[in-house]
Amino acid sequence: MNDSTQMMIRALCAASSRFLVILGLGLILSLQFGSRANAQSINCAAPVTGAPTGPAVVSVASTPFGKVLVEGSAEYAGCSLYILSSDELHTLTSNAAPFACSDNHNVLGAPCDAILWPALLTDGAPIAGPGINPTLLGTVTRNDVLPGQSVQQVTYAGLPLYRFFLDETPGETEGANLFDPVTSPTGIWYLVEPSRGRPAPGQARLVLETAPVNGTGTDQTVLGAVMNNDLSIFQNASFPVYTQSGDAGHPWGDGTNCLGVCAAVPWPPVLTSGPPQAGPGVDQHALGTIVRPDGTHQVTYNGKPVYLFYGDAYIGGITGTQGIYGQGKITPWGVFNTIPPSP
């Protein structure tokens, strides 16, 4: 682990009043938070260090984002569970692409699937707690979570479930709507609604975002979406949103042509669980929604669906640089452009 990586980890932990203890060669990390006087206390941030010894239980809890999936097993009861949008690439490519949260190297130098976003593992078929649709529970074999071991990770509606290492206690949701440049490829972490396993993003909020073009060019003010709702180290960050020319041929109430790989990785749609909110300088009447084929609700602006660009993701002071990197991108799905402020 080089010096710059260690500095990134120290900055991340200091900013969130937490710390990592690195053991040996960094293959095993142990997260310690606050007093451990009560040996039975639940530590939602605990890393995955060994195979499970029993079936995982998935349950439901009420949050400001609505009812969402949480762990039901005694050891982690109430800890929030998340899915990663770019993990869909694994399915879309018939498993040819690796999971976006894996043990591959990342800028923080800690395995994504064991430390940063501990995978929900199970020994045997996972158990559906109250409120869970048992037909949506499944498993996928992972060979990258624990060195030299094959384990089963719990899935819901086909996507793997994870905890988040900055969620210390049950009920915390620091990972909600986190636009994460650390995963490979970049994706958005969502809480999960239990009825059909869709993302539970809560109510989207559109604001004006001022950022340099390509990170170093002239500043421009464009429409942006608020993400990272509860992330203590970079809370309520905003990122530019885009419309795309390929949507022009679609009736706005029926859909978009940015589906599959388009939406899974480079251009994730801006999702909402209710009518989107307008921040200062944004026309509330211009905001609306469409229902995507998967049943999620995507924000529209003047009738046009809006998207984020994965190249814009960054975490201030940790990794990446603020900028407008998607302006004018020509893609197989159309040309993507930012949205200027209303006159």
Q: pLDDT digits over 32-54, tens only?
A: 333 333 335 899 999 999 999 99
Q: Name the 3-class secondary structure at 311.
A: helix
Residues 102-159 have pLDDT tens digits of 999 999 999 999 999 999 999 999 999 999 999 999 999 999 999 999 999 999 999 9
Residue 16 has pLDDT above 60, yes or no: no
The whole-angstrom separation of Cα 134 and Cα 183 is: 29
Mean pLDDT of the residues in the chain = 88
Q: What is the pLDDT of residue 34?
A: 33
Residues 236-275 have pLDDT tens digits of 999 999 999 988 655 444 457 899 999 999 999 999 999 9
The whole-angstrom separation of Cα 253 and Cα 303 is: 8
pTM score: 0.88
Helix (H), strand (E) at residue 90: helix 88-92
At which residue do the structure tokens 């010894």 appear? 53
| Burial readout 148-179 (b: 16 or more C-beta within 10 A, e: otherwise) | eeebbbbbbbebbbbbbbbbbeeebbbbbbbb
- C-alpha distances in angstroms, 272 versus 121, 177, 178, 298? 29, 10, 14, 6
Domain extents for the chain? 3-191, 205-338
Per the model's pLDDT, the better-predicted residue between 20 and 228 turns out to be 228
Mean pLDDT of 298-303: 96
Residues 144-193 have pLDDT tens digits of 999 999 999 999 999 999 999 999 999 999 999 999 999 999 999 999 99
Q: What is the pLDDT of residue 10?
A: 42
- C-alpha distances in angstroms, 65 versus 78, 170, 195, 203? 15, 15, 14, 8
Q: What is the pLDDT of residue 215?
A: 92
Residues 184-223 have pLDDT tens digits of 999 999 999 999 999 999 999 999 999 999 999 999 999 9
Burial label, 15 (beta-carbon count in 10 A; 0-12, 13-18, 19+): middle
The whole-angstrom separation of Cα 242 and Cα 303 is: 13
The whole-angstrom separation of Cα 113 and Cα 142 is: 10
* Residue 315 · residue 233 · CB < 8 Å: yes
Burial label, 264 (beta-carbon count in 10 A; 0-12, 13-18, 19+): buried
Q: What is the pLDDT of residue 38?
A: 37
Nearest Cα to 183, choosing from 169, 199, 198, 164? 164
Mean pLDDT of 303-331: 96
